[in-house]
Amino acid sequence: MLFTNPFTELQRIVSATAGYSGADLKALCTEAAFGPLRDVTDLSRIASAESVRPISIKDFENALRLARASVDSKELKGLEEWNKMYGSFPVEEGMDCDSANLGES
């Protein structure tokens, strides 16, 4: 991937995808990955993956216009309540995946 300032640009993607499910993130990444291919005018000239430009932040910005969160905030609140009552591990509001205890020892 081609990013000029990876930390800042990835943070923008993270902020823009709050509330996205795993499937939503997969759809976003798939859409972004097609960005470089859309720039190719003659598909017969693609000899290898190296002949296509890298994915850039612009591809993610374009993909964000198309790939939206599939779970609305009301539905997400219901899932959080269910997790509090029946879930395997607690997840505090604002907690990121790296700081969640996923049952790993």
| Residues 18, 46 within the same domain | yes
For residues 62 and 76, the answer to whether their CB atoms sit within 8 Å is no
Which pair of structure tokens corresponds to residue 62? 């374009």
- Domains: count for the chain: 2
In the predicted structure, residue 98 carries a pLDDT above the cut 60:
no
38-55 mean pLDDT = 83
8 Å CB contact between 71 and 21: yes
State the CATH number of the domain containing residue 30. 1.10.8.60
Q: Considering the entire predicted model, what is its pTM?
A: 0.67
102 pLDDT band (50/70/90 cuts)? very low
Residue 15 sits in the same domain as residue 62: yes
Indicate whether 24 and 65 sit together in one domain: yes
Residue 92 pLDDT exceeds 70: no
* Helices first, then strands: H and E counts in the chain: 4, 0
Same domain, 45 and 87: no
Provide the residue type at 39 as one letter.
Answer: D
Q: What is the pLDDT of residue 25?
A: 95
